[in-house]
Structure 1
Amino acid sequence: MAERALRGARLGAQSFEDERGVEMAPRQEVEYVLPDGQTFTVTMADEADIPAEWEDPRTGRVGRLKDGEEPVKKDEKPARTHWDMLLERRSEDELEEILTERLELLRSGEIGPSHLHRRKRKSA
């Protein structure tokens, strides 16, 4: 295995490409402001659409574009719960009736796991 090792090179850690003659894409520095007033800059391409918010790479907090407009907040629909979806299909009276029927079957031992069945008392 030692015969196949490349000597003098760190594979993957170092690029042997030369940057001479390579023209970089035009860039711009975009400044964002954190809620506490600190600022940070992000380098972006000139033709990039600049987002109104960006996460600070050092702290992870979200900053707003300096001198930018407030983003328009969208009305969020409340999350539909299982109960909401159930009420779309059945009324509360129907659900109460179904619950009563199922509890009677469970208590009589016709359905459900055996450890929940009530044992019938023997008459002496």
Structure 2
Amino acid sequence: MGRAGRRGLGWAGLTILEGIVRLTASLHPVPTKHTRRGKPIMGERMLRGSRLGAVSYESDRNTELAPRQTREYLCARGHQFEVPFAVDAEVPTTWECKFDGTVARLVDGSEPEQKKAKPPRTHWDMLLERRSIAELEDILAERLEEVRARRGRA
């Protein structure tokens, strides 16, 4: 830190502060690779971590994999690819294409079921949910009388 950064300290205070820093550094030296007992310090130990999707460090030797089935998918652009599934897994009818990201369908599979779409509700539909036709005719008659009365006064 430069001397300009230590505002408020006079020359005497500055030299005292520098002396304290030097004394502290000599009393507490920076540790080397090992402490007195020969064990590595925290910064020297190697911690092995992993992240999501990382490759496992375990080997596949002498392990039995779960039984698998391979299913083929075909996208609209003609890309055909295979996806492995567990034998007991439910195979989806659609899968994202590996090559272009479009929706691919299962080869020799059933068509995906279509979602039931609700017909759009209009303002008239919502109004009929709250009032009957007879009530609406009464309200219309009242409003027309008010409009005619205002026109007669004006």
What TM-score do the two structures reach when normalised by structure 1? Answer: 0.55
Q: Specify every segment of 5 or more residues in structure 1 that has no aligned partner in the other structure, as ranges.
A: 102-124
1:70, 1:16 → 2: CA distance? 41
More helix by share: 2
Aligned counterpart for 1:78 among listed residues 119, 123, 140: 119
Larger radius of gyration: 2
Partner amino acid for 1:89?
R
Aligned counterpart for 1:4 among listed residues 30, 42, 46: 42
Residue of structure 1 in register with 2:72 after alignment: 31
Q: Secondary structure at the match of 1:64?
A: strand
1:86, 1:5 → 2: CA distance? 72
Residue of structure 2 in register with 1:44 after alignment: 85
Change (3 A) 1:94 1:29: same
Q: Specify every segment of 5 or more residues in structure 2 that has no aligned partner in the other structure, as ranges.
A: 1-30, 32-40, 144-154
What TM-score do the two structures reach when normalised by structure 2? Answer: 0.47
Change (3 A) 1:56 1:88: same
For these two proteins, the number of residue pairs brought into alignment is 99
Report % sequence identity: 44
